[in-house]
């Protein structure tokens, strides 16, 4: 009996066609590229989050507020949106205390430590809207809302509580006479617990330059240093005014 003749072998297709190989390779390359992009973006985002809006740049910006021209480095300007040469209604600054320095490698811990509000002083510079600064408002305005009782405060200050039937109820004013100068006046909202102090417990505004108001805020923990703070802030702002 003759063996059946075998027909031609069927043509076998490859398990992976060239087109499929190309597609797989393209997907692998794309995924690798995405991984690199995500990695780079992650590092940049991480660095940005670590800065939390701060900058160590000392690039100088020219800020024009009313009649005054200020020259300020970027690392003392609090908000990123204000870091530009511009005509502005106001500028917000923050500085270390007592060195009055901006953000940088050597001061990063002072800006980041929320448990030490006495590390920083905050300033807001704007065009003056009142003819008198806080010292000048003592007699015509504040005397009428302060209690008749006065108590000794830290470092020669006199404490006056605001009357309970005024809009200043709960606030405390500190005053001090200064030879040859207008009286010192400071407005505070004191925490019940001194350890709960914030960096804005107390505030004072002074007129500086041609038509500039410097409003500064600091922790009540710094009250004993009121003289040095006041002189330092005024000197600092004047030093940043362009001639």
Question: pLDDT tens-digit profile of 103-130?
Answer: 999 999 999 999 999 999 999 999 999 9
pLDDT of residue 141: 96
5 lies in a domain?
no
Question: pLDDT tens-digit profile of 186-212?
Answer: 999 999 998 899 999 999 999 999 999
78 lies in a domain?
yes
209 lies in a domain?
yes
Residues 78 and 149 in one domain: yes
Q: Which domain holds residue 29?
A: 18-51
Residues 205 and 165 in one domain: yes
12 lies in a domain?
no
6 lies in a domain?
no
Residues 28 and 114 in one domain: no
pTM of the model: 0.79
Residues 39 and 66 in one domain: no
Contact 55, 79 (CB under 8 A): no
Residues 173 and 109 in one domain: yes
Residues 32 and 98 in one domain: no
Residues 85 and 31 in one domain: no
Number of structural domains in the chain = 2
Question: pLDDT tens-digit profile of 6-15?
Answer: 455 445 455 5
Residues 30 and 108 in one domain: no
- For the chain, the straight-line distance linking the first and the last C-alpha, in angstroms and rounded, comes to 120
Residues 41 and 133 in one domain: no
Q: Residue 18's pLDDT band (boundaries 50, 70, 90)?
A: low
Q: At which of 51, 70, 97 does a domain end?
A: 51
Sequence-distant (6+) residues with CB within 8 A of 144 are none
């Amino acid at each position: 009996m003759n063996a059946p003749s075998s027909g031609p072998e069927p043509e076998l297709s490859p398990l992976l066609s060239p087109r499929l190989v190309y597609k797989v390779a393209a997907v692998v390359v794309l995924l690798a590229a995405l991984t690199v992009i995500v990695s780079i973006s992650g590092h940049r985002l991480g660095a940005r989050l670590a800065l939390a809006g701060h900058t160590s740049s000392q690039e100088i910006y020219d800020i024009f507020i009313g009649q005054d021209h200020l020259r300020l480095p970027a690392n003392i300007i609090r908000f990123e949106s204000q870091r530009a040469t511009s005509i502005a209604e106001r500028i917000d600054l923050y500085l270390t205390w007592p060195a009055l320095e901006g953000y940088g490698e050597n001061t990063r811990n002072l800006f980041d430590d929320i448990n030490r509000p006495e590390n920083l002083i905050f300033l807001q510079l704007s065009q003056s809207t009142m003819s008198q600064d806080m010292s000048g408002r003592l007699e015509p305005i504040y005397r009428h809302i302060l209690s008749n009782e006065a108590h000794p405060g830290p470092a020669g200050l006199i404490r006056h509580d605001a009357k309970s039937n005024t809009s200043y109820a709960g606030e405390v004013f500190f005053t001090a006479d200064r030879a040859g100068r207008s009286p010192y006046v400071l407005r505070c909202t004191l925490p019940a617990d001194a350890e709960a102090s914030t960096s804005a417990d107390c505030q004072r505004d002074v007129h500086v330059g041609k038509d500039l108001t410097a409003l500064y805020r600091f922790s009540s923990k710094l009250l004993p240093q009121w003289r040095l703070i006041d002189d330092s802030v005024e000197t600092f702002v004047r030093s940043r005014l362009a001639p």
